[in-house]
Amino acid sequence: MSLPGAACPADRPAPSTRALRVAVEGGSLHVRIDGDLASARPPLLLVHGGPGGSHAGLIPAAALGHDRAIIFYDQLDCGRSDRPGDPAHWTLARFVAEIAAIRTALGLDRLHLLGHSWGATLALEHAARAPGVVSLVLMGPLVSTAAWLADAATLRARLPADVQAVLTACEGPTPPPAAACAAATRAYYDRYWRLRDPDPVVTAYEAAMPHCFTPALYEAMWGPSEFRATGTLADHDGTARLAELRCPTLFLIGDSDEITEPTARRFAAMVPGGAETIVVPGAAHRLQNDRPDLFVAHLRDWMRLHDGDPA
């Protein structure tokens, strides 16, 4: 998902092969397209995490634009999209509907679909119900909140004892100072959310975004941190959707991801015929940041394998 507390400076133009707006309930979305939509290869549509993140973190996938169209977008109240700030729009169904709106606007009858973290929640819902998804990539996916929190408990137990003690105290009735809680939370993120600083090109791109993170949206739908769910997604369970998938599916995770390998493989086994699982070494939840080389290589190989017959 997205890191609470992330921020961006004032708006500046961002480079893009092509940018457009797509109308959805509540406003319009910013859509960026790299590559040629007329390519014989099906395009790739990427769905960012959060709730409340932006497409900036997925921008390493633009390197695939010489192969096919690569489509990024910001969800409503995120990034460069409209920000009405109305919690009435912050529902799973409305965010899922954005994918269909983009497909309709761009005429995407066939496409590869990638969702990262919370974006995988949305991608799974769409792929289970909609035709024309030639393959699905669930990257560091939030499939079930209960499973996510169980993994978070496992990962917290691997932190130093003093950090664990502070995190537990921070969730109690008399928490320690906010700075101590923030430092302990950061220790979790530094181990499981992102292992390395972003590439300078990605940093510059993120710096040009007007709005990298929407805390109110994150807190309303998820909660105060990656390992505490108190929002509307607290009871989310998308495991039934896995059995409804009819397209080739890949679980792509880091070896230090917030979703553990046993959980990813358990979910993969729920997909009819079984889904593939790739564990990227030296990568946490934002594996596209930690290992952009393998992120791009695995996506390129996966899509070429499953492009299929355009007829």
DSSP-based three-state secondary structure for 63 = helix
Q: Which member of 30, 89, 285, 298 is catalytic? A: 285
Residues 6+ apart with CB under 8 A from 267: 138, 141, 143, 147, 239, 242, 251, 275
Tell me whether residue 285 is one of the annotated catalytic residues: yes
Token output for 14: 């961002």
Tell me whether residue 117 is one of the annotated catalytic residues: yes
DSSP letter string over 168-201?
HHHTSSS---HHHHHHHHHHHHHHHT-SSPPPHH
Cβ distance 76 to 145 under 8 Å?
Answer: no
Q: Which member of 67, 77, 151, 257 is catalytic? A: 257
Tell me whether residue 48 is one of the annotated catalytic residues: no
Q: What is the dihedral of CA 177, 180, 181, 184, to 10 degrees?
A: -170
Q: Which member of 2, 54, 117, 225 is catalytic? A: 117
Q: 112 pairs with which residues across the strands?
A: 44, 135
Taking the C-alpha atoms of residue 284 and residue 258, their distance in angstroms, rounded to an integer, is 7
Q: 144 pairs with which residues across the strands?
A: 237
Catalytic residues: 117, 257, 285
